[in-house]
Chain A
């Protein structure tokens, strides 16, 4: 496989062209929006919890931006569904980056992690889960 094909792996292009959990939820229990000022990527995410009030039962996102940001957000929604707010708050970014599966420069890292950051902010607001410093640099609306 060439370096080129490796970068935009089919996996990333699939998620970019056909994102999972696309579209914001009505009456969400948690919601946040964020931008990456470097390239203008935008992501909004909304969450509904299950009967226990903790487990993410439904998640939807909307956004526009580069393939990495939108594909990584799509992958992230699959990853967090079924987990509790506390579990997601503590989810290491490496787990998502493992799904993305390609080496990213510091600039592109910000694109890839935007969606996860937005979800962590939404959970922090709705459930008071911890929000480490590294997520507070996001331009959150």
Chain B
């Protein structure tokens, strides 16, 4: 998948993705919405099918061989994920549905027991709603205060603004590693250090980072990290939460039911060991197998080549879009961001073309982008817009697709002039 020069062999790699065999509106699919959800390689689909055909049973229950095989598959996937993020123990990996569920788990299970009046929860202005709304809601419910760290004119976090919270009882600092709307990369090690110096935990949304760059929870220094499988070539319906074992052990469960118990008495129940304590009910086993296969797929290709490829596409896209009069680009320069491009389009007479209309014109050219507020309404308000267009790149995108995007954006301008 990587050429002798260390570059991605994209043509070969695209052949792994059955979706690209289809045509839309008579054209090849130009999929520029991987930040929303990534396409799936055959390797992931085959691993899931094979598991269903040969090894499927419920896990952690049956004493029969098939049940053991299924359990091994689930735990094998957990070990792959552990290694993927460099966690010190597989007990710290909790399978959940997606990043949103992982963040809700922390907000509820940590927040309800640890927050109260006088405490402060801090999030950032650039957060996806999934790392904003749960904290806002739990803070309100517990009587804790809720603060939003502002972004600067580049859409980057103003770490200097943290000074305003000196002397406060900070309990939680929640931030994304990479912004889904702007591609901004936050300095999590510094934020985690600040959080710890103030007695707070640091909760990281890594949904936009994990598919594209190596994650090392030891180096990040945070306490929790949430990831969705579907954005990293894995199936939908599975993601994971990494959390420090000592904090997870101190927390109450999030969901109650089967598998998560140690002993159930008539009036009282004790909880199982990690990770079972946070995995009530039957696990998404085949999905975990698919996620494990996605980890293998990405690791085999290597993040160095993936990042370099995406960065080249990003740089080219920013250059090309900047040359179109009437296009407004948001976010920091290429060297300080991930491969996400948010932009708005106006005609040469200055008429704004609504992102939905841009996306509709692009769709007729079989180009898939996201148009909307990207689940980041506070950020949209900061930018002074209702919505933006967002093109995002992944390992299977090609340079030609940037040209198609640019051509189609010009067509949108022409249509609405």
Using a CB–CB cutoff of 8 Å, the interface residues on chain A facing chain B are 3-4, 7-8, 13, 16, 38-42, 64-68, 108, 111
Contact = CB atoms under 8 A, between A and B. Distances in A.
Interface of B: 25, 354-357, 360-361, 364, 371-373, 380, 386-387, 415-416
B364 A4 contact: yes
Q: Which of A4, A16, A38, A108 has the most CB of B within 10 A?
A: A4
Contacts of A40: 372-373, 380, 386-387
A70 to B, nearest CB: 8
A38 B372 contact: yes
A7 B358 CA distance: 13
Given A38-B372, A40-B380, A40-B386, 14 more contacts: A3-B25, A4-B364, A8-B360, A13-B416, A39-B354, A39-B373, A40-B372, A42-B386, A65-B356, A66-B354, A66-B355, A67-B416, A68-B357, A111-B356
Contacts of B356: 39, 41, 65-66, 68, 108, 111
26 contacts: A3-B25, A3-B364, A4-B361, A7-B360, A8-B357, A8-B361, A8-B415, A13-B416, A16-B416, A38-B372, A39-B354, A39-B373, A39-B387, A40-B387, A42-B386, A64-B386, A65-B356, A66-B354, A66-B355, A66-B356, A66-B360, A67-B416, A68-B360, A108-B356, A108-B360, A111-B356
A15 to B, nearest CB: 13
B99 to A, nearest CB: 20
Contacts of A39: 354-356, 371-373, 386-387
Point out which of B354, B355, B372, B387 has the most chain A C-beta atoms below 10 A from its C-beta. Answer: B354
Contacts of B357: 8, 66-68
A7 B364 contact: yes
Nearest to B360: A7
A41 to B, nearest CB: 8
Contacts of A42: 386
